[in-house]
Amino acid sequence: MVSGRVWVVVAAAASLGLVVALLVWAVVVSSGESGAPSTAQVSVTVPAAPLAPLATANRFDGARAFALLREQVLDYGWRPAGSASLRRLAVRLRALMPRGRFEAIPGHPGLRNVVGSVPGRLPAIVVGAHYDVEDAPKGFVGANDGAAGTAAVVTLARAFAHAKRPGARALRFVLFDGEEEPAGCTPFTACGIRGSSAYAASHAGEVKALVLLDYIAEKHGLSFPREAGSDPALWRRLRAAATAVEVGALFPDMTFGEIIDDHTPFTERGVPAIDLIDFDYPQRDSLQDTLDVVSQRSLDAVGETVYELVTRLRRRA
């Protein structure tokens, strides 16, 4: 899980009123002629939360991104850090990345970050996501928590590999290993965020800003209030980018509780970072985080937004 002050987050999410109850159970109590109460259960279906708005820009290949999301879930299945399936996936992801390579994670043999890059001026803009999934529950496939962010980062990397801009900032696309903690290990800050901690420790000085993608493809009710640990100025630029591609409704002008995630090792080193995480995701950390609760449309709306944001950030002084 993405951890930390989860109780704060849950309380905040509830106060946002974003939770959609698909079934409302009402207990109807009536009195019979005998005077003994009888009960009946009535199920009421309420409308699902809306779909994401359609982005007007088309520079992010949503179809390819969604195919890569599906591939992770269907062909690699449960793929926690250190597993054979995740190591196979890493080879595949490295091949898809421009200048793709592995970086070892000191202290965690068998774990490795997958890094793609587009040359340019330093410090670099980094776009990241974790590619491992929950160790528990067994069989967790992480369509939204893992596959979606990974698919978006790879698709952005491939788009920018062909969008050369003389004088622009360097771009790095980093897939972090070992974000999720081994089953039963606590605290999360020591057991999880292993790949991002290693990357920040060795590269923070080369990073101008980090844009982290997590839980970005929920089909119904996708919404990103600002995670409280995310840099406010960078978040304003994100919202402006979203407005430019006409999906500003995804980013309401609100803030919710702080999440410990792969951006945390960067913010702790003073690197401006933002975490796009739709934490109010009913299937979070469960075996229901599957393909039927994510969509290409949502993934594309976020992908187009981040493409626009990175385009703006890389040409800025």
Q: Which residues bind Zn ion (CB under 5 A)?
A: 145, 214
DSSP secondary structure, 178-195, as one string = --SPPTT---HHHHS-HH
- Each residue of 20-40: b (16+ CB within 10 Å) or e? eeeeeeeeeeeeeeeeeeeee
Integer Cα distance of 132 and 142 in angstroms: 9
Integer Cα distance of 303 and 57 in angstroms: 10
Q: In this complex, which beta carbon is closest to Zn ion, that of residue 35 or of residue 139?
A: 139
Vertex 312 angle, CA 311 and 314, to 5°: 70
Tell me the β-bridge partners of 30: 38
Q: In this complex, which beta carbon is closest to Zn ion, that of residue 214 or of residue 231?
A: 214
Report the nearest approach of Zn ion to the CB of residue 125 (Å): 21
What's the half-sphere exposure (Cβ side, CA atoms, 13 Å) at 297?
13
Report the nearest approach of Zn ion to the CB of residue 277 (Å): 7
Report the nearest approach of Zn ion to the CB of residue 230 (Å): 15
Report the nearest approach of Zn ion to the CB of residue 30 (Å): 47
Report the nearest approach of Zn ion to the CB of residue 316 (Å): 28
Report the nearest approach of Zn ion to the CB of residue 74 (Å): 19
Q: In this complex, which beta carbon is closest to Zn ion, that of residue 68 or of residue 168?
A: 68
Q: In this complex, which beta carbon is closest to Zn ion, that of residue 179 or of residue 308?
A: 179
Residue in 201, 274, 205, 264 with CA at minimum distance from that of residue 236? 274
Helices (H) and strands (E) in the chain, counts: 9, 10
Report the nearest approach of Zn ion to the CB of residue 2 (Å): 5
Q: In this complex, which beta carbon is closest to Zn ion, that of residue 244 or of residue 274?
A: 274
Q: In this complex, which beta carbon is closest to Zn ion, that of residue 171 or of residue 276?
A: 276
> What backbone phi and psi angles, to 5 degrees, belong to 128?
-135, 165
Which residues, including other chains, have CB under 8 Å from residue 152's CB and lie 6 or more apart?
60, 65, 129, 213, 216, 299, 302, 303, 306
Q: In this complex, which beta carbon is closest to Zn ion, that of residue 8 or of residue 249?
A: 8
Q: In this complex, which beta carbon is closest to Zn ion, that of residue 150 or of residue 305?
A: 150
Residue in 223, 290, 161 with CA at minimum distance from that of residue 19? 223
Report the nearest approach of Zn ion to the CB of residue 243 (Å): 26
188 in Cβ contact with 1 (< 8 Å): yes
Report the nearest approach of Zn ion to the CB of residue 275 (Å): 10
Residue 141 tokens, joined = 């496939």
Terminal Cα-to-Cα distance of the chain (whole angstroms): 36
Q: In this complex, which beta carbon is closest to Zn ion, that of residue 214 or of residue 304?
A: 214
